[in-house]
Amino acid sequence: MIFLKNTLFLAKQTKITSALVVINIGWFFISRILDVRGFMPFHENEFLIDWGADVSQLTFAGQYWRMFTNLFMHISFTHLALNMLALWSVGSILEKLIPPFAFLGIYLLSGLFGSLASDIATINHNVISCGASGAILGIITALLAFSIINRANIAQMPIKSIIVSLILTAGLGLLPTIDNMAHIGGAATGFILGAIVTFCLRTFNYPSKLTIIIVSLVFIMAMIFLYLGYMHYQISGVFYD
């Protein structure tokens, strides 16, 4: 009972992280309840693709939305559980340190750039990519950037949470079926955006309007860069059902 109360209290303090965890878990089970192929190993690839997994040849053929939907698709319950534990352990810390819109922006942009990096790396291969790992690694590295910029004493840095989350998320990269380029793209994006957001908070404070404007402009520029990157590699005239 005490554990439940503590969990509910923490969930109220970290609404975005909690919502992301609930959405990922809910989508995992709802998609499989609506489509039993998710429980059939021989039809698993078809299931993942039909429900939004990222396949570079499909994505660059015009199905750009796969770069987003794949962030909420997970191959197995173990894959889901490890990612959600990593998200919860580090997301609940970072969300309290930066503005909510910045936290969500870093999460989504890290995931999207991770997807783009994966698509570019596998453009000539038939690879199915899915999972929130790239977005979560973006949150981890954003927290790392925040800690490095704000804390001179390494003893005050949330080292344990960062290490545990890295092991849970990046450690999956040791498996042959996991997409490491999505991890690299997400981690790099999160660190860069996290550093920019942290410098803005230190310089202009929050909720300064100038901070909101600058961070929003940075996110808009990142989206433009993402769009240009996608268009550069888009396959013209080839579409899949």
- Give which of 230, 237, 225 is closest to 120, Cα–Cα: 230
| Average of per-residue pLDDT across 123-128 | 87
For the chain, give the number of residues.
Answer: 241
| Average of per-residue pLDDT across 20-44 | 94
- The structure's pTM equals 0.89
pLDDT at 124 > cutoff 80: yes
DSSP secondary structure, 16-72, as one string: HHHHHHHHHHHHHHHHHHH-GGGG-GGGHHHHHHHTT-B-HHHHTTT-TTHHHHGGG
For the chain, percent of residues with pLDDT exceeding 70: 81
pLDDT at 100 > cutoff 90: yes
Q: CB of 141 within 8 A of CB of 173?
A: no
pLDDT of amino acid 107: 98
The single residue of 56, 129, 147, 183 carrying the catalytic annotation is: 183
pLDDT of amino acid 176: 47
Residue 23: C-alpha distances to residues 15, 16, 18, 178 (Å): 12, 10, 9, 21
pLDDT at 56 > cutoff 80: yes
Rounded to an integer, what distance in angstroms lies between the CA atom of residue 116 and that of residue 124? 14
**Residue range 59-83, pLDDT digits in tens:** 999 999 999 999 999 998 988 998 9
Q: CB of 193 within 8 A of CB of 109?
A: yes
Report residue 49 as tokens: 């693709």
Is 43 designated active site?
A: no
Residue 50: C-alpha distances to residues 32, 37, 69 (Å): 12, 10, 11
pLDDT at 219 > cutoff 90: yes
Rounded to an integer, what distance in angstroms lies between the CA atom of residue 25 and that of residue 176? 24
CA 50 from centroid of its chain's CA atoms: 21
In the three-class reduction of DSSP (H, G, I as helix; E, B as strand; rest coil), residue 213 is classed as helix
- The pLDDT confidence band at residue 237, using thresholds 50, 70 and 90, is very low
pLDDT at 172 > cutoff 90: no
pLDDT at 235 > cutoff 50: yes
Residue 153: C-alpha distances to residues 149, 157, 158 (Å): 11, 7, 11
pLDDT of amino acid 119: 94
Is 133 designated active site?
A: yes
The single residue of 18, 31, 56, 133 carrying the catalytic annotation is: 133
pLDDT of amino acid 126: 84
pLDDT of amino acid 208: 81
